[in-house]
Structure 1
Amino acid sequence: MNEQQEDRLRARWRRAVRSAVVVAASAGIAALAVGSTAGTAMAGVGAVDEGTPDVSLAAVPVSQIAAGNLHTCVIRTDGTLWCWGNNFYGQLGDGTTANRSSPAQLGTATTWARIDAGSGNTCAVRTDGTLWCWGNNSSGQLGDGTTTKRSSPVRVGDATTWASVSTGSNHTCAVQTTGTLWCWGLNRHAQLGIGLSPHQSTTPVQVGTATTWASVTTGYAHTCAVRTDGTLWCWGSSSDGQLGLGILSYRATPTQVGTATTWTSVTAGYVHTCAVRTDGTLWCWGENGYGQVGGGTGFRTTPLQIGTATTWAKVDASIDSSCAARTDGSLWCWGKNTSGQLGDGTTTHRPTPTQVGTTTAWTDGLAVSYHACAARTDGSLWCWGDNTFGQLGDGTTTHRPTPVQVPLPD
């Protein structure tokens, strides 16, 4: 077996193992889908309406949403940070390893600005430009120079110029206000963008010397980033074409995806990637076993345009599923739906974008995993999908195939 075949088999095996936990816990959700009409299965037709917001639960709207495998965190507009769900590794950051089915504030700081959640870890940037991480640290993905898990935020270095952060399964990357890009954690598939050595780094290492990086996103074993000139670059594993380079191997350093200079944002799922261009078009590529690429069959090694719409505003890709918001305020999801994470009232996988409810009041604030969360224009927060560990934040562990409003304390 060559390296390419081994990488592809390993990626699928890891997905199967991680999915098994959720599949077993989500068996009850299928009963909720019984009675869904055939119209629900059609993209944008007969979609389930998720109800009227309870304004008493939306006293302080959210500005940032992050969905880990089994936990959720949000930053509210008042700069406070709240997390809930699974806490096995301390990824909720509250100093404990106790699960929470309702939002719990992390400390008393009101200076949180940006956040992202990995499989069992979380990282966030404060308004003073400092970077903090907590949770699982088995591969050094917290960047604190150790492999010790942390149940409270630990500062990453002493820099005060961090602008944004993205944390994947075992590695983390972040962009500084200087336009430089830094990565740390596991590097087995060259996902740090610095070649195959070292095998892992427990502190941030700079990716090349460019000072024009605008944003970065991390998947299971690959990384992609957009530069200020609108070009898109990817590196790491491409076992299923997730780099968009037309290959099924890997790239040890950043490699440009095509020649387009109109990319505005990119999001890395587990083994697939999606991105939006300045003309409002949506593109995806990589593993497509559940239709998470949003078109055609089989994996895609180069970017595939999803439909012909030119009104896509933002997309978020995760574990075999994707969701995207349009400029008209509608929300669409596709791909794997075992846990009801597509929000269409069923557990049927969707190979093309399917509208979530009928409301057109969604913002571009969204996050996707085995569950999904999104914000509306009225400031309310809604979540759906797997809820085994209370990651939907509604005070229960009941799975939800349609959005349910999250009660955020005032």
Structure 2
Amino acid sequence: MQMRSIVQCTALLIPTVLLICVDSVQASPEPLFGSPVGGVRLGLSLEPEHPVLPSDLSLSVTLHNTTNQIKTLPASLCGQITWLAYTQIAIRSNGGKLYRVPLRSMIDTADLHQHGPLLLQPHQKLEAKLSFIDIGQQYPQPDGEVPLSALLTQTRQIELWAELSMEHSRTISSQVTRRSFGLKPIEKPISASCAAQLVTSHYLTCLLNRAGTPYCWGETDPGAGPEELSYPRALRWLAQSATSIGFGNGRLCAVTTDRDVLCLSEASEGVSSRKLTNPHRITGLPSGLSRIVSGTADQCVLTDAGALWCWGRMPQTIPPGDVLSAWRAQPMPGLGQDVVEVVFGWQHACARKRSGEVLCWGDNKVGQLGSGTPDASETPKAVIGIGGEVKKIVAGNLFSCALRTDGKLFCWGKNEYGALGKYSAPAQLTATERTDLGTDLRDLFAGHDQLCVLRKEGQLQCLGTVAASESVLSTQTPVTLDGIPPDVAEVTIGPRDACARTSQGALWCWGQTLRAMTKPDEKKPPDGPQRVTGLSSVQSVHIGPGFWCAATQAGSVSCWGDGSGGQLGKGRIMMSAKPLRLDIPCDK
């Protein structure tokens, strides 16, 4: 660029760059200066020393005149064009492609402002500070095949240095500095069993092993080649560093070893376990995080004290959109501490406090909040009409229910597919007692459009989309599921199927999938609940659309059902009516 006496300067500035002109700079850490060129040197410093993500880094670039003389550098500066216009950051990721990112771009369009060279007073230092997020958002120069921001979601180590380049002058460079990214590994196993936690989201399943590593499978893209077919893969951003995981709204979030929350979202080119790569840090959280609780719309974390913090749905928590950006959590107003249970519907959620009080928030078009009005609220509202202490709450897509300590059942919301019985109104705005299911209930379960109760004598009764027989897919009248032992410990309800797990670890399932998988020349399975053979000592089961995955107390994981999208984790497209055991490491 030739120097002109008067020009107009238009620049694209990085918003968070701070330009400081000082006689002495007290930097922490000290900049790593390169060799001086004509008595002028350039330095680069990074902090923190041990970042988890590239977005955690902040950079400081320092230009230093080391001599006792005024130094004139052949730049062409004006009020808007500073020395940053000639400075760039060189970035090499994982020892591969090199990117050079300018700290400022400019266009001269008219003769309005005077230009002049860069003058450095004796021993003067100029410093610019910026966030690595801003660098990641810049296009590489020249443009590369892969945007730098996308590359940084996959990197574990980078090399960086700063360069000051001016026409007819030698390039001044800082020393090379390096950073590795990642969480600290867990110090001891997080569970006695190999399988610490099993979670499912639509067609995707993840197992958190006792070493703190999530392994995920499912969501194979249509037309995928053999090398892309789904089998359990470790999520390297969270390897040996997660203590609790949960799915919600296309993201897998984890409480990590640094007692923070890190989320991995789906990459833009597809939706599969091998593309759960884009990392986001959840900011604004308090200390003492316990476990992830999440649903379709909400993602939350409970603290050790029982406070609930959420992100992802409320407008103020939506990130700016860059893959390196942070999300900000908010405490759920009005809940305080001592939250002991949280359940999620399609677009609403409810919490139970230790006192037995129940509060709900979210969408409320059909009375999902039980607040007496159809008005939505992001502030938890007390449910009206329960009239006693509650020991358990459940939620379906558009309804919620509460079981009181005296065994009485109360429900509110929309009576979709008969889940709330034939005597319920289409939309119940307050909690109403369900006497048709008895008044001495032992336990309560719900999910999607099905509601189940365990009676005191051990009978399991369900209504809604029970699909217990080929002729009846939904019912407003409670159906007794015969054959299931009375010691039911848990009922898991998916979109098409459901399972009851006994206290001895036996698994009994019913629903549509196995009948739908039967070939025309094959005998269809009998109606009603059927015991799942080949499994014993089941610890938990999770049900997706047409498939099941179960973890045993011994730590093994098996999946069965529709595997047309890699849901069974066997590395091939297949269907199986019998559980197929997966090979997942326990200790790495």
Normalising TM by the smaller chain, what interval? 0.5 to 0.7
CA deviations 1:310-346 (Å, max 9, x no partner) are: 232221112121111123321121112179999xxx9
2:414 aligned with 1:281: no
Q: Which amino acid aligns with 1:177?
A: R
Q: Within 5 A, what are the aligned runs for 1:3-402?
A: 60-62=193-195, 65-72=198-205, 80-82=243-245, 89-92=250-253, 94-98=262-266, 101=273, 111-113=289-291, 116-119=293-296, 121-135=298-312, 137=313, 146=316, 148=318, 154-157=329-332, 159-198=336-375, 200-208=376-384, 210=387, 212-244=389-421, 246-247=423-424, 249-258=426-435, 260-288=438-466, 291=467, 293=468, 297=472, 299-309=474-484, 310-337=486-513, 351-363=527-539, 365-370=540-545, 371-385=547-561, 394=569, 398=573, 401=576, 402=579
Contact 2:413–2:429 at 8 Å: present in 1 too? yes
- 8 A Cα contact 2:359 2:380, kept in partner: yes
Moved more, 102-111 or 68-77: 102-111
Deviations 1:182-221 (A, max 9, x none): 11111111111113421x2122212127461222122111
SS of residue paired to 1:191:
coil
How much is the aligned-residue C-alpha RMSD, in angstroms?
A: 4.2
Q: What one-letter code is carried by the residue in structure 2 that aligns with 1:97? A: S
- SS of residue matched to 1:97: strand
**Alpha-carbon offset, residue 245 of structure 1:** 5.1
| Higher deviation after alignment, 146-155 or 126-135 | 146-155
In structure 2, do the counterparts of structure 1 residues 312 and 185 end up closer, same or farther at CA, with 3 Å as the change threshold? same
Cα distance between partner residues in 2 of 1:122 and 1:397: 31
**Higher-RCO chain (CA-CA 8 Å, sequence separation at least 6):** 1
**In 2: Cα distance, 1:147 partner to 1:307 partner:** 47
Aligned twin of 1:39: none
Task: Give the alignment's TM-score, normalised by structure 1.
Answer: 0.67
Gap change, CA 1:165 and 1:399, over 3 Å in 2: farther
CA contact (8 A) 1:236 1:252 kept: yes
Letter in 1 for 2:536: T
State whether residues 116 and 124 of structure 1, in contact with CA within 8 Å, keep that contact through their aligned partners in structure 2.
yes
1:237 touches 1:251 (CA, 8 Å); kept in 2? yes
| Contact kept? 2:264, 2:280, Cα under 8 Å | no
Give secondary structure in 2 for the equivalent of 1:225: strand
Q: Deviations over 1:31-80 (max 9, x none)?
A: xxxxxxxxxxxxxxxxxxxxxxxxxxx97545654433344466778881
Look up the SS of the partner of 2:401 in the other structure. strand
SS at match of 2:417: coil
Q: Please give the alpha-carbon distance, in whole angstroms, between the structure 2 residues aligned to 1:152 and 1:409.
A: 31
Instruction: Say if 1:335 and 1:350, in contact at 8 Å, map to a contact too.
Output: no
Tell me by how many angstroms 1:250 deviates.
2.5
The residue identity in structure 1 corresponding to 2:414 is S
In 2, the alpha carbon distance for the partners of 1:106 and 1:408 equals 26
Contact 1:100 1:390 in 2 (8 A): no
Change (3 A) 1:391 1:211: farther
| Letter matched to residue 534 of structure 2 | T
Once residues 355 and 385 of structure 1 are traced to their aligned partners in structure 2, the CA distance between those partners, rounded to angstroms, is: 15
Query: Could you tell me the percent identity over the aligned residues?
Result: 26
Of stretches 323-332 and 398-407 in structure 1, the one that deviates more from structure 2 is 398-407
Aligned residue type for 1:305: T
Cα distance change on mapping 1:182 and 1:360 into 2, 3 Å:
same
The CA distance in 1 between the partners of 2:457 and 2:403, in whole Å, is 16
- CA deviations over 1:336-357 (Å, ceiling 9, x no partner): 2179999xxx997874212222
Residue 180 of structure 1 deviates from its aligned partner by 0.9
- Equivalent residue number for residue 22 of structure 1: none
Seen in structure 2, the aligned counterparts of structure 1 residues 182 and 88 have a Cα distance that, compared at 3 Å, is closer
The residue aligned with 1:51 is none
Classify the secondary structure of the residue corresponding to 1:352: coil
Alpha carbons 2:422, 2:476 under 8 Å: kept: yes
Identify which range, 242-251 or 161-170, moves more after superposition: 242-251
Greater alpha carbon shift after TM alignment, 243-252 vs 382-391: 382-391
Distance 2:362 2:508 in 1: 32
Kindly tell me the number of residue pairs found equivalent between the two proteins. Answer: 335
Whole-angstrom CA distance in 2 between matches of 1:347 and 1:148: 51
Amino acid in the other structure paired with 2:348 = H
Cα distance change, pair 168–384 in 1 and its aligned pair in 2 (3 A):
farther
The whole-number CA distance in structure 2 between the counterparts of 1:153 and 1:407 is 33
Q: Could you tell me which amino acid in structure 2 is paired with residue 283 of structure 1?
A: Q
Aligned partner letter, 2:273: S
1:240 alignment partner, SS class: helix
How many angstroms apart in 2 are the aligned matches of 1:124 and 1:225? 22
What is the rounded CA distance, in whole Å, between the counterparts of 1:215 and 1:347 in structure 2?
A: 40
Cα deviation for residue 265 of structure 1 reads 2.8
Tell me how far apart the structure 1 counterparts of residues 561 and 281 of structure 2 sit (CA, whole Å): 28
Query: Aligned in 2, Cα 1:183/1:69: closer, same or farther, shift over 3 Å?
Result: farther
Deviates more, 1:160-169 or 1:264-273: 264-273
Q: For the residues of structure 1 that align with 2:387 and 2:470, how far apart are their CA atoms? A: 34
Task: Return 399-408 or 256-265, whichever deviates more.
Answer: 399-408
Q: Partner of 1:322: helix, strand, or coil? A: strand
Q: Please report how far the alpha carbon of residue 230 of structure 1 lies from its aligned counterpart in structure 2 after TM superposition.
A: 1.6
